[in-house]
Structure 1
Amino acid sequence: MTTGVAGIGKTLLTHKFTLDWAEGKANQDIDFAFLLTFRELNLLKGKEFSLLELLHQFSVETKESGIYRYDHDQVVFILDGLDECRLPLDFQNNPIWTDVTEPTSVDVLLTNIIRGVLLPSARIWITTRPAAANQIPAECVDMVTEVRGFTDPQKEEYFRKKFREGTMASTIISHVKKSRSLHIMCHIPVFCWITATVLVDFFKTSQRGEEVPKTVTQMYSHFLRVQSIQGDRKYRERAETDPLWSSESREIIVSLGKLAFNQLEKGQLIFYEADLAECDIDIRAASVYSGVFTQIFKEECGLHQDRMFCFVHLSIQEFLAALYVFLSYINTGVNLLSEEHPTSREAELLPSTRVLWTRPYRVRTDTWTCSSASSWASL
């Protein structure tokens, strides 16, 4: 099991692993590597497959090649994003399942793969945020690794590789070092990207005397502003010099904030059509949002072109949720956070929503060697 906070590089690590294997650069003792994401497995909830049929859903090549047995092959299952799982994963009550050709629920297949009962020769690699790791029984995990993000030298390496023009990179690095909260948060690669986006825009467009963002809240506020204005210019033909947000962008931000808050309360990071409907957002509107706010909200196609949506990063979802709570209180006097006590599942997510408004994150700044500033800077 590999753990790490959102945006730290867990999924990128699995992609690097499978790419190196596919290109013959590493791990050549493996015959088959199946990368199964929980956000796609969620789409199969309530359906029944045999293990072979499930693998054919994800890998057309194995189906076309006529491979129906893996008993004598070295197989690796990579289960990415346990924290996004909406399947029960009922290890206590699910039946033992050993036949790879007999259909059953996806939940039963997964629990038996992880138990080592179904295709026992296979190796399993699970990635997750720490809060969801306890969904897997301890006896099913032989090794735990943690991705801890960039070291201080890697933070600088990221910005220098991101900007070939040395002056801009040096200016950004200097500013980040002056703010303890920003410097700490930059151990997360995604936050480095947000910081780069915001500061480049600021140093190119800011008016004299305007304060450079130096807190986490200011950074996300400016990021939201940058993305809103860019969307207005691209899709609504607003003037390049117009610094104001359009009313349409404001309405979208409020809708996304409501979605972010409601789904955080449920502990959900991936949204399907039913989740959007609960917040009065239809599929068409969600697609428009993802097109206008491409760096905030994105649409993905899962199995059989099923559509799902998510925020680019958990911290963006948290910020929008916090913004929605703030606006609700200002406009109606209702404190949404005091309406009811969160469940234990919600409590894993909601405290960090409040943190954005009160104090900097407290995070660890050491690193695991698999994090690569060069790989992230190219994104």
Structure 2
Amino acid sequence: KSELERIAPDRLFRWCFRSRRLPLSVMVSGVAGVGKTTLVQKFIFDWATGKHYQKFAFVFFFKFRDLNTITEKRSLESLICQTYPHLQDKLPRVLEDPKKLLFIFDGLDESKTDLKLRRGEAHELCMNPGDVKPVTVIVASLLKQTLLEGCSVLLTSRPSKLISLEAGVFHRVASIVGFLSKERERYFSMFFGDERVSREAFAYVRDSQVLYTLCYNPSYCWITCTALKPCFIARAGRPQPTPKTVTQLFVSYVTHIMANHTQERPEPQRMRDTLISVGWLAEYGITNHILVFDLKYLQDFNVEFSPFLTGFLVENPQTNDSSQVTYSFLHLTIQEFFAALVHYLDYKEDKFRDTMAKARSCKEGDYEIFSRFLAGLSHPATKMPLEKYVGKFSAEVSRKVIGWLSEMTYEELQSPEEPEGKRRLMNVFNLFFESQNSQLVHDVMGKAAHMDFSDLYLMPVDCTVLAYVLSCCEEIQCLTLDSCFIQNEGLERLRPELHKVRELSLLENDLKDPTMKDICKALKHQNCRLEALSLGNNAFTEQCCEELASALVENQTLLSLDLKKNKLRIGGLSYLSRVFESPECKIRKLGLQGTGLSDESCGRLCSALSQNSTLRHLNLSANIFTDRCAEDMHLLILTSPSLTEIRLGLNDFSPEVEKQLKSLQRDGLDIHF
């Protein structure tokens, strides 16, 4: 994760250190609603107003949802002329210098057809702008530089679509991480306008860890603010209960629209019929990759466009034919919500069976969000607010969805594929989280679960989901989160459940001193089961060692502690030495390699460890010990009552001292340099 870098939008086509080149093909990835489309719109605006990327003379912007409507083969020239008809006469000159052209394709995950850029798959390509080919062949050819060599291409997509793409097709892959803490607060301030109201609403959301975490996503942040606004503006009392899941958040949004965006509250059956019509339209679109609907689609599904529906559907006037109007859902995620909701409102066994079969067989994530909503709506408390407006949900669908989730076994969920298998497991955990069915999760996970998400980037919302799964488990044998980049907020979400874990590894997460308080709370928990704790390769310093030492004194379970490659130095060691010399200390394995220890700290350390009756394995490699502390090391090796292995390599001992210390090796004690 040390290779991760923060990058501003105006640097997407600057030098990339990972690919060691100026990128021509860039992928911007991000979960639903995090702002991919907004980013490219801002990118184009800044280019058009002269703020950046003036090396591009022309920027061509296409949406895959619009390209889906093109069924016949086209040439790149005809695609450009259809969207930018004013360029028709000038197009040959425009395309003369590809280095000055940027093509942006938004929403690869919304594409109806595959780009055919899978690993190891032969693919059709074209070479000339006038070649007539399927649209996806044109896009692939631009990416592969067989068409308009030297042009730049920017794509956006949900992460699930990236798994199957050929490695190296993109020179840079960037991920939108959403709002950080200060940005969430600023969004609330801008949304509400009134400083007092925004502060009160944000404090309310901040008190709900789950809701606050969900607000990293700009779309969810907007939905949260929209749902809360009437409560705080009109002082009508705060909503109860607070949404705990994404499904509950969308339920709150839909009920808010029904309660506040209709002139008079219609009877439940009429409201139900409206949502059913919209739902089947949404479901048809999801299963057939249709995101833009003309008037005929609305008529076929008995959808009457009304002011009420503007909370979910928007009109899209066509640039080339002002008389033609198309419709789309406010956001793809809203379409996915209604596609799941309709099965509960209007259960049809054959349709439900067919849709579930497609969702189960799909490996590219097209049904991920839909499945989460389907799981979420099975929970009684989640659907209750909507049932007040539209009547009871189908009990049969709830039973089938719960049955589907119950059929999963943890052994089957564990996959040798990396990182695809780990990402799929996290998606299943999202299903569990949305279902809020703790008994079901407990039964599926079994006892003494092992979880390994190492090298998978986990956002704070992923940590919230993982914490829920941990809360449903009696015991976790092993939790490995190495190089997950969880940082402070992620660890804060996990903290309430960490005491259940026997072996916890948090290597290489850039954790800093403030997060030590969360680790210490787990160590101090009265039911703490931690036996092995790995905190190496982080950014801890001597400043947090007093707090850690205090927790270790209270803890009675820890047997292995790895602190390697943290800047503990002599100040931190002085606190920890008090722990190591205590007769209550039970640590058997201690890793202090690369922690900045020097001769000045060696005497204190060796004195403390020589009194420790449980320590068996000690690693002091890669510090800055010299011959000056040879006597202290000599004393430690001779007097330690339980030591069976000590590692001292990569220090500054002379060959003579190394040989001298090595000569102290005996049966039952290995000394490594």
TM-score range (shorter-chain normalised) is: 0.7 to 0.9
Alignment of 1:117 with 2:138, yes or no, is no
Q: 2:355, 2:151 → 1: CA distance? A: 47
Other structure's SS at 1:138 match: coil
Computed over aligned residues only, the root mean square deviation of the Cα atoms, in angstroms, reads: 3.3
CA contact (8 A) 2:231 2:238 kept: no
The structure, 1 or 2, with the larger RCO (C-alpha pairs under 8 Å, 6+ apart) is 1
Structure 1 residues 240-295: Cα deviation after superposition (integer angstroms, max 9, x where no partner) = xxx6666433321122223334444x273614359x75xxx427954615x53212
Count, aligned residues: 349
Please report how far the alpha carbon of residue 2 of structure 1 lies from its aligned counterpart in structure 2 after TM superposition. 0.5
* Residues 1:144 and 1:229: Cα distance change in structure 2 (over 3 Å): same
- Using the TM superposition, give the Cα deviation of residue 171 of structure 1 relative to its aligned residue in structure 2, in angstroms: 1.7
What's the TM-score once normalised by structure 2's chain length? 0.47
TM-score by length of 1: 0.79
Distance, in Å, in 1 between the alignment partners of 2:280 and 2:326 is: 17
Corresponding residue of 2:198:
169
Distance 1:30 1:328, change over 3 A: same
Contact 2:337 2:370 (C-alpha < 8 Å) held by counterparts: no
Please state how far the C-alpha of 1:182 moved relative to its aligned partner. Answer: 0.8
Instruction: State whether residues 197 and 223 of structure 1, in contact with CA within 8 Å, keep that contact through their aligned partners in structure 2.
Output: yes
Residue of structure 2 in register with 1:196 after alignment: 225
Deviates more, 1:28-37 or 1:213-222: 213-222
SS for the counterpart of 2:310 is: coil
Given that 1:319 and 1:356 are in contact with CA atoms closer than 8 Å, whether structure 2 keeps it comes out as: no
Give the equivalent residue in structure 1 for 2:274: 252
Q: For 2:54 and 2:375, locate their aligned partners in 1 and report how far apart those are by CA, in whole Å.
A: 45
How far apart are the structure 2 equivalents of 1:245 and 1:219? 24
Q: What's the counterpart of residue 40 of structure 1?
A: 66
Counterpart pick for 1:364 among 459, 472, 485:
459
- SS of corresponding position for 2:59: strand
Asked if 1:128 corresponds to 2:157, the answer is: yes
CA contact (8 A) 1:328 1:335 kept: no
Taking the aligned partners of 1:339 and 1:262, their CA distance within structure 2 comes to: 10
Residue pair 1:232, 1:249 contacting (<8 A) in 2 also: no
Mapped to 2, the partners of 1:212 and 1:116 lie a distance apart of 53
Question: CA 1:287–1:48 in structure 2 vs 1: closer, same or farther (change >3 Å)?
Answer: farther
Match of 2:249 in 1: 219
**Partner Cα separation in structure 2 for residue 102 and residue 218 of structure 1:** 49
Amino acid at match of 2:166: P
Percent sequence identity over matched residues? Answer: 24
Structure 1 partner of 2:408: none
TM-superposed CA distance for 1:39, in Å, is 1.3
**Partners of 1:186 and 1:6 in 2: how far apart?**
13
The whole-number CA distance in structure 1 between the counterparts of 2:77 and 2:172 is 27
- Whole-angstrom distance in 1 between the partners of 2:225 and 2:103: 35
8 Å Cα contact 2:105-2:154 kept in structure 1: yes
Q: 2:115: which partner in 1?
A: 89
- State the alpha-carbon separation in 1 of the partners of residues 50 and 257 from structure 2: 40
The answer to whether the 8 A contact 1:263-1:269 is kept is: yes
How far apart, CA to CA, are the structure 2 residues paired with 1:215 and 1:337? 29
Q: What is the Cα deviation at residue 339 of structure 1?
A: 7.5
Deviates more, 1:120-129 or 1:86-95: 86-95
Contact persistence 2:112–2:290 (CA under 8 A): no
User: Residues of 2 paired with 1:283 and 1:303: CA distance?
Assistant: 25
Give the conservation status (yes or no) of the 8 Å contact 1:38–1:82: yes
Kindly tell me: are residues 176 and 65 of structure 1, through their superposed partners in 2, closer, same or farther at Cα, counting changes over 3 Å? same
**1:370 alignment partner in structure 2:** none
2:45 maps to which residue? 19
State the distance in 2 between where 1:245 and 1:9 align: 37
* Runs (5+) with no aligned partner, structure 1: 367-379
